[in-house]
A = this chain, B = another copy of it.
Amino acid sequence: MTTRIDYGAIINEIFEAVKNEENTGEVAQYIPELSGVDPEKFGVYLTTLYGKGFGTGDWETRFSIQSISKVLSLSLAYSILGDKIWERVGVEPSGTPFNSLIQLETDNGIPRNPLINGGALVICDMLISELKDAPIDFLAFVRKLSGNPDLEYSAGIARSEKSVGYRNIALCNFIKSYGNIRNEPDKVLDFYFNMCSLEMNCRELTQTFMYLVDTHHVTSNSATLLSMSQTKRLNALMQTCGFYDESGEFSFKVGLPGKSGVGGGIVAIHPENYCIAVWSPKLNLKGNSYRGMKFLELFTTRTELSIF
């Protein structure tokens, strides 16, 4: 069925429509490296299960993928530790903003899910315990997954985020106070800020995330990564938890599993069909890309191809 859809035409058409509307929201301001990005940047790329690609706009420009990286670190930890990871982090939507500490206090330091900051810090802590050198090994993992040996952290962004990342420092130390961080908070935070500083363009993002599209077949890259059941579960988790306290809204309007980052990127998965990445730096009040949300809502409405 999907082969009959002319993705290229639809993407171009919706891209133009969204581009012609007002671009509201605010670029993330807390570090100069993010606030300095051109707010009018706008790119889209879609890669199908069968490897065909369609791009428009600024799809070749790399940007800071930020929280989108949480899916990748989670995948690596899940592939190494299996279901043991769920003893230290939940699978429920949080119902609160991404960096809230309230829930942690109620739940004794167990983050609700691995896609909010607290949960991602716990996953980083697991990887530090399991890997020889977590930042290096994680980068190698992402490079292999994407088939792209050029991917890099941005040292400048990582450094800047750490220098003002008081909320994340608070989160990490708070979880540590409950014993659910095993390594020193400083080490965990260093890895976390590195991970979030990964840079990709829209095409690279879709190529990296194809392991979540292709749940039935073995590909060269994901061969040793995750079972089909694990892959489906990661998609389910993105569906319910990928957009902080706007996860329900995204599921409701877009109907695909996905994950956003404060750099303005969103990646979404249509299992067995395609991966799509959108980038536009202006964020809505919930911290998700304004144009990214808009584009994807129109896209799944137009293609009539949500998972529901």
Contacts and interface: CB of A to CB of B under 8 A. Distances in A.
Interface of A: 90-96, 100-103, 105-106, 112-113, 166-167, 169-174, 176-177, 185, 215-216, 228-229, 231-233, 235-237, 239-241, 245-249, 251-253, 255, 257, 271, 301, 304, 306-308
A252 to B, nearest CB: 4
Contact of A105 (B100, B216, B233): B100
B251 A239 contact: yes
A229 B301 contact: yes
A232 to B, nearest CB: 4
9 contacts: A91-B248, A100-B105, A166-B176, A233-B308, A235-B255, A236-B255, A239-B239, A239-B308, A240-B248
The 4 closest A-B pairs by CB, nearest first: A95-B95, A92-B248, A93-B93, A235-B308
Most buried by B among A90, A95, A248, A301: A248
Nearest to A86: B252
Contacts of A308: 215, 231-233, 235-236, 239, 257, 271, 307
Contacts of A235: 255, 308
A302 to B, nearest CB: 11
Given A100-B105, A102-B105, A173-B167, A248 B307 contact: no
A252 B257 CA distance: 12
A166 B251 CA distance: 33
B248 A233 contact: no
Given A100-B105, A167-B177, A185-B166, A237 B252 contact: yes
A83 to B, nearest CB: 11
B105 A101 contact: yes
A92 B95 contact: yes
A307 B235 CA distance: 9
Contacts of A216: 304
